[in-house]
Structure 1
Amino acid sequence: MALAPVAGRAQAVTVHGFVSRFSALVQQNGPAVVNISLVPKEQVANAESLWPPGASEHDPFLQFLRQFSPNPLPDAGATQSNVGSGFIVRPNGYILTDARLVADAKDIKVRLTDRREFKASVVGIDQPGGIALLKIDANGLPTVKIGKPSDMKSGQWVVAIGAPYGFENTVTAGIVSNTARLLPQETYIPLIQTDMTATTGDEGTPLFNLNGEAIGITLVAPPPEGAFEGISFAIPINAAMRIEQQLQLHGRAEHGHLGVTIQDVTWPLAQSFRLRKPVGALISSMDRNGPAARSGLQSGDIILQLNGTNINDSFQLPAAVADLHPGTSAHIQYWRDHGPHDAVVVLGRSTTLASASVDAAMSGKLGLMVRRLTSDEKHRAEVSGGVRVEQSAGPAALAGILPGDIALQVNHAPVSNPAQFRQRMSGARNTVALLVLHDRQKMFVPLDLG
């Protein structure tokens, strides 16, 4: 009978301790989080109020909020890019934030939690990494403690302190959903995904673990409406700080460049390439004049190692290459013709980085009808061979192959006419890898012939 109250007290202590950790975290790090407001180079006219959504100047609810709010509401003329967040990483006034927030800014103002305001200068912006470094004329400022994102696991709690809609020092909490989510259209860096919703003003918000250490910087991606509802992404702080060091020293960050577009190796693709398991990064297309091409690498090669480090999936390669300086000699092991080979690539310099990750659906019979390309079609597609897909059904359609796509290779052998295409297909084993040109992007698509 005495156990029930004891259990109740133990539970209460646990909850109290958990809440205390949140409070201590905010008290410790809140002063290092700043509110960033800016004037874009091209001011947008007739913009709607940010809050309340769709409110007019004569709305009584808006007037009520303005009368009793301790801080002024965001300006009704502000655009979505007018407000954001950042955090102090050096006590002499260096501030990290989202590159997109300040990329087109004319004037930038930073407001501290003690109400002091400073005009900020841009030290440097690294668009490929999504990081910007600002500087204000101040010393002895509080800073965040830098943590290790690699220690985070899915399901762990995280806390963000930001300024959604301009409301500074707003605290939100959630859990880590994934520790390495790649958004090639945003950055080459695998991102931390959480179940918190990032919105206007959250750009540059720091993400903390429960030890009070900054582990990421929030990136607000502009996807098609509703695509990322209820989730947010953060650039791992270790990657951000590597970029910060380059920006502070040189005003810009330089990234190594291979000149390839890659995709993940699925089990069906691994079988078609006769790999024992799906590893590495598959080169789906490449710059003909790029560093990789000059070193003899080809479309269809699978990069297995970079400087002795195994490339287990396509997520690893872009970040590993980007962390190397242009001019570096990179030792690459790759898979071609059912065996490993080696190459040395002298990396180029890149201002934009991208990788393509493709997950294709596979099934039984092929379901394709193809025809010969006309000279005009070859010229417009900038190809010398291939066949045009006229109809796609069944497994081919499920795999994402559409009418108008151009099939360039069957199991790494080029095709130039329908007869050759049929011949290559008839000689294929259970799984075939098609190199397809879709919307000017090349990708390997695996098909199971059954």
Structure 2
Amino acid sequence: MRTVLTVRFLWLFVLSTVITLTTARAGSYPDFTELVENTSPAVVNISTRQEPKRRQQLQFREFHQDLPDIFRDFFGKPFPPGKDNKTPAHSLGSGFIVSQDGYVLTNNHVISGADEIIVRLRDRRELEAKVIGADERSDLALLKIEASDLPVVKVNTQAVIKPGQWVVAIGSPFGFEASVTAGIVSATGRNLPSENYVPFIQTDVAINPGNSGGPLLNLDGEVIGINSQIYTRSGGFMGLSFAIPMDVAMDVVKQLKEKGYVSRGWLGVMIQAMNKELAESFDLEKPMGALVAEVLEDSPAEKAGFESGDIILQFGGQEIKESSDLPYIVGRTPVGKQVEVDILRKGEKQTLSVMIGELPDKRHLVDSKQSTPKALSNRLGVTVKTLTADEKEQHDLAHGVVVSKVLEGPGRDVGLRSGDFITDIYNEKVDSAESFYDVVDKLPTNKSIPMRLVRHGKPGYITFKLTDN
């Protein structure tokens, strides 16, 4: 009898343990039903129509030309045009209502170039929308529909967003309206090739064509981001999705409402990331800050005395841990504000005061010169030639020499080529073949040396080491 009771007791113990573990495990997963019920009515489907003469603008943004193929914006679901190429093009995307009187937020690429924009509500009403304003840099657009007492989302611009927290997306992937997907925040403050002025939220939430412009929500049912881009090799979801934070979005909304466009602060420098070798060459203990590769002509930075080779450590009291931090911080700075900037120049810390300008239109920045690395002398296996005044003017150089030949040696190892313009070595300007060789002859051994060169109009820094051999 005792044996039977013991067996029964053990069986009941095992069963209760399994039930407890199963319940605990089930309880660890959140229930999204309430937040979806409360938010879905304010999420809309957006369809656009574009006449055949402008169809290419709708299906392929010029923006794509600047991105690697693996970064693709999800445009919605384009319908195939008719065989005669005269059928208007259509596209589907998502958006959400931010005010009861009909303001709708979505992505710029969803509505870019459209001749007609239709917003479809959850109650099946279809209303034509007008564009209040759009901002290509942040990929945001503000629409207005004529309606009242509309359901609205709860927006949180102060949300604490941490990797690992649950998030939910609602949208119309491939035209399937009000589709809900869930996942976690993978990272914050991501900088993408498509845009330097948005610190994206990275998630593993399933996002596909048609989700574009839809909300990203936390467990409190608050919108913390706008789904905007995906990383893909196939055109579909691969576990890497990117959303625009709502503090960025609502600042854009405010400006679009007030003036129809967005203004951003502008410093006027071209920067590059610091790596271990560059940090060592500039006598930094670890990679930090943003390295100034070039100061644009007639920019706020030039007027404030910035120079190539400066390392920006703090901007307006905010630490610049990585180079990608700087554009976003500068962009959010009010135009006309005087800002103190801490820099490292030739090993010495300095503070410069700069009055922030307004970021020019992209078209005005395209022609601005861009940069790459620099070079060395015979110790490097490199010969150079002094530039004439006409050559400097032609290549828009204040100083420098041109590489005429690259032989066996450190120069070839670091990738120098004939035709490269070398402007600085070890934080010293070079303006003739003689000064170049003189600087190189005095370079220390077994130490990372920074050099600046200009290749194909692009300036930047690279590092190298000379050995005793």
Contact 1:90–1:143 (CA under 8 A) maintained in structure 2: yes
**Which of 381, 384, 387 is 2:402 aligned to?**
387
Report deviation, 1:182.
Answer: 0.8
1:116 aligns with 2:120: no
Contact 2:102–2:150 (CA under 8 A) maintained in structure 1: yes
Report deviation, 1:119.
Answer: 0.9
The 5 A counterparts of 1:365-380 are: 369-372=382-385, 378=392, 380=394
Report deviation, 1:135.
Answer: 1.2
Deviation string, structure 1 residues 383-405 (Cα, Å, up to 9, x no partner):
24233375498976786656654
For residues 410 and 157 of structure 2, the distance between their equivalents in structure 1, rounded to whole angstroms, comes to 43
In structure 1, the partner of 2:248 is 239
Contact 2:170–2:178 (CA under 8 A) maintained in structure 1: yes
Report deviation, 1:294.
Answer: 0.8
- The code of the aligned residue for 2:168 comes to V
The 5 A counterparts of 1:41-440 are: 42-44=53-55, 75-77=79-81, 82-147=91-156, 151-196=160-205, 198-220=207-229, 230-352=239-361, 369-372=382-385, 378=392, 380-383=394-397, 384-388=399-403, 391=406, 404-417=419-432, 420-429=435-444, 430-440=447-457
Deviation string, structure 1 residues 182-229 (Cα, Å, up to 9, x no partner):
124324122112234644323212222233222211223799877995
Could you tell me the TM-score, scaled by structure 2's length? 0.78
For residues 8 and 213 of structure 1, the distance between their equivalents in structure 2, rounded to whole angstroms, comes to 36
Contact 1:149–1:236 (CA under 8 A) maintained in structure 2: no
Contact 1:100–1:130 (CA under 8 A) maintained in structure 2: yes
Contact 1:386–1:409 (CA under 8 A) maintained in structure 2: no
3-state SS of paired residue (1:303): strand
Deviation string, structure 1 residues 27-66 (Cα, Å, up to 9, x no partner):
2222221111112364438x99xxxxxxxxxxxxxxxxxx
Q: Say if 1:333 and 1:392 are closer, same or farther in 2 by CA, change over 3 A.
A: farther
3-state SS of paired residue (1:34): strand
Contact 2:387–2:401 (CA under 8 A) maintained in structure 1: no
**RMSD (Å) for aligned C-alpha atoms:** 3.7
For residues 172 and 418 of structure 1, the distance between their equivalents in structure 2, rounded to whole angstroms, comes to 63
Using the TM superposition, name which of 420-429 and 388-397 deviates more. Answer: 388-397
Percentage identity across aligned positions?
36
For residues 368 and 228 of structure 1, the distance between their equivalents in structure 2, rounded to whole angstroms, comes to 49
3-state SS of paired residue (2:195): coil
For residues 50 and 227 of structure 2, the distance between their equivalents in structure 1, rounded to whole angstroms, comes to 21
For residues 407 and 166 of structure 2, the distance between their equivalents in structure 1, rounded to whole angstroms, comes to 46
- The code of the aligned residue for 1:440 comes to G
Report deviation, 1:422.
Answer: 4.2
Larger radius of gyration: 2
- The code of the aligned residue for 2:395 comes to A
Using the TM superposition, name which of 282-291 and 21-30 deviates more. Answer: 21-30
- The code of the aligned residue for 1:208 comes to L
Report deviation, 1:170.
Answer: 2.0
In structure 2, the partner of 1:59 is none
In structure 2, the partner of 1:36 is 46
Using the TM superposition, name which of 375-384 and 280-289 deviates more. Answer: 375-384
Using the TM superposition, name which of 103-112 and 150-159 deviates more. Answer: 150-159
Report deviation, 1:290.
Answer: 0.6
For residues 417 and 14 of structure 2, the distance between their equivalents in structure 1, rounded to whole angstroms, comes to 64
Deviation string, structure 1 residues 335-359 (Cα, Å, up to 9, x no partner):
21322222221111114579xxx99
For residues 301 and 286 of structure 2, the distance between their equivalents in structure 1, rounded to whole angstroms, comes to 24
Report deviation, 1:427.
Answer: 2.7
- The code of the aligned residue for 2:455 comes to H
Contact 1:108–1:119 (CA under 8 A) maintained in structure 2: yes
3-state SS of paired residue (2:358): strand
- The code of the aligned residue for 1:385 comes to G
3-state SS of paired residue (2:40): helix
Contact 1:194–1:231 (CA under 8 A) maintained in structure 2: yes
Could you tell me the TM-score, scaled by structure 1's length? 0.81
Deviation string, structure 1 residues 417-442 (Cα, Å, up to 9, x no partner):
55544443343340111112234222
Contact 1:407–1:436 (CA under 8 A) maintained in structure 2: yes
Q: Say if 1:405 and 1:116 are closer, same or farther in 2 by CA, change over 3 A.
A: farther
Deviation string, structure 1 residues 82-110 (Cα, Å, up to 9, x no partner):
22111122222111111222232221111
- The code of the aligned residue for 1:381 comes to H
For residues 431 and 443 of structure 1, the distance between their equivalents in structure 2, rounded to whole angstroms, comes to 16
- The code of the aligned residue for 2:34 comes to A
Q: Say if 1:131 and 1:393 are closer, same or farther in 2 by CA, change over 3 A.
A: farther
For residues 332 and 385 of structure 1, the distance between their equivalents in structure 2, rounded to whole angstroms, comes to 27
For residues 295 and 24 of structure 1, the distance between their equivalents in structure 2, rounded to whole angstroms, comes to 54
Using the TM superposition, name which of 283-292 and 213-222 deviates more. Answer: 213-222
Which runs of no fewer than 5 residues in structure 2 stay unpaired? 1-9, 60-76, 82-86, 366-370, 374-378
Report deviation, 1:132.
Answer: 1.4
For residues 271 and 117 of structure 1, the distance between their equivalents in structure 2, rounded to whole angstroms, comes to 61
3-state SS of paired residue (1:240): helix
- The code of the aligned residue for 1:24 comes to E
For residues 159 and 412 of structure 2, the distance between their equivalents in structure 1, rounded to whole angstroms, comes to 39
- The code of the aligned residue for 1:324 comes to T
3-state SS of paired residue (1:443): strand
For residues 134 and 426 of structure 1, the distance between their equivalents in structure 2, rounded to whole angstroms, comes to 63
Deviation string, structure 1 residues 4-26 (Cα, Å, up to 9, x no partner):
43343334334544555233332
Q: Say if 1:149 and 1:316 are closer, same or farther in 2 by CA, change over 3 A.
A: farther
